[in-house]
Amino acid sequence: MSDVVYEAKIRIERVNGVLRMAYLPAEDEAVVFGVHGAIAEHYGVSPEVSSPRATTIDYLIAAAGG
Answer yes or no: is pLDDT of 66 > 80: no
In a domain, 58, yes or no: yes
In a domain, 16, yes or no: yes
In a domain, 3, yes or no: no
pTM, rounded to two decimals: 0.75
In a domain, 46, yes or no: yes
Number of domains in the chain: 1
In a domain, 21, yes or no: yes
Q: Which pLDDT score is estimated for 10?
A: 95
Q: Mean pLDDT, to the nearest integer, of 9-27?
A: 93
In a domain, 5, yes or no: no
Full domain range(s) for residue 37: 11-65
In a domain, 6, yes or no: no
**Cβ atoms of residues 34 and 55 within 8 Å:** yes
Q: Which pLDDT score is estimated for 47?
A: 72
Residue 55 identity (one-letter amino acid): T
In a domain, 37, yes or no: yes
